[in-house]
């Protein structure tokens, strides 16, 4: 009975500490709701974001610190009071625009149209995502990765299981020789053309 009373008291204490935090996040200069503001409980992996009107709702504990962050505004930190009455707490959080000053850039035109055309043609353009993916998945890149990247545990296990299965299949008889395998001869000829068998200094 004593244990039940103690558990009930702990439950009541925890329930009294839980607070439903709700409100709206607005701009400080024009009082317009800010959408997509991240609202997180500091030190915990819990949070939410404001809707299109800047309205939010989240469950917190009394004494928690709640952070309001947005890429375009200075972040705010709000502490939930420990002595509030009830289990609801509303806020109207104002956020100030975060101004970023970039260094000055001077744009100068080319002296002549011919020089502009020459520089435009010879300008180096960074690869886009498709070109980067094409280079990373080329035959040469994959061949280099196969030679340098070690096998992980799953690949090593699969190789061992295949070897065991092959030995079980050909138990009591002579395994087939790849000298009569046309595919193996094709791979050998391709390797010979690539120069894989040349002596490397």
**CA angle, 128 as apex, 136 and 101 as ends, to 5°?**
125
Look at residue 2 in the predicted model and tell me its pLDDT.
Answer: 45
Per-residue pLDDT of the chain (201 residues; tens, 9 = 90+): 545 555 554 545 556 789 999 999 999 998 999 999 999 999 888 899 999 999 999 999 999 999 999 988 999 999 999 888 888 999 999 999 988 788 888 888 888 888 888 888 888 888 888 888 888 888 888 888 877 877 777 888 888 888 888 888 888 887 777 676 777 788 888 888 887 777 665
Q: Which residues contact 176 (CB under 8 A, 6 or more apart)?
A: 170
128 CB neighbour count, 10 Å cutoff: 9
Nearest C-alpha neighbor of 93 from the set 106, 76, 110: 76
- Give the span between the Cα atoms of 196 and 185, in whole angstroms: 14
Q: Which two tokens stand for residue 62?
A: 């009394």
What is the set of domains in the chain, with CATH numbers? Answer: 2-95 (2.60.40.1120), 110-149 (no CATH), 152-201 (no CATH)
Predicted TM-score (pTM) of the model is 0.47
25 CB neighbour count, 10 Å cutoff: 25
Given strand 65-70, what is the order of strands in its sheet?
47-49, 38-41, 65-70, 73-79
Cα-trace Rg, the chain? 34
- Give the span between the Cα atoms of 175 and 109, in whole angstroms: 74
- Give the span between the Cα atoms of 52 and 172, in whole angstroms: 73
């Amino acid at each position: 009975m004593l244990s039940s009373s103690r558990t009930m008291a702990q439950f009541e204490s925890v329930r009294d500490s839980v607070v439903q935090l709700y409100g709206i996040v607005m701009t400080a200069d024009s009082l317009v709701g800010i959408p997509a503001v991240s609202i997180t409980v500091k030190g915990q992996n819990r949070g939410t974001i404001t809707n299109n009107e800047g309205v939010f709702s989240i469950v917190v504990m009394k004494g928690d610190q709640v952070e309001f962050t947005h890429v375009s505004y200075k972040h705010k930190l709000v502490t939930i009071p420990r002595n509030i009455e009830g289990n609801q707490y509303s806020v109207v959080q104002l956020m100030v625009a975060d101004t970023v000053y970039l260094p000055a850039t001077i744009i100068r035109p080319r002296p002549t149209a011919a020089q502009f055309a020459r520089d435009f043609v010879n300008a180096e353009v960074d690869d886009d995502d498709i070109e980067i993916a094409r280079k990373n998945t080329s035959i040469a890149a994959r061949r280099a990765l196969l030679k340098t990247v070690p096998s992980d545990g799953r690949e090593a296990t699969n190789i061992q299981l295949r070897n065991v299965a092959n030995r079980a299949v050909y138990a009591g008889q002579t395994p087939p020789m790849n000298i009569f395998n046309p595919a193996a001869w094709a791979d050998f000829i391709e390797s010979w053309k690539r120069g894989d068998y040349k002596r490397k200094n």
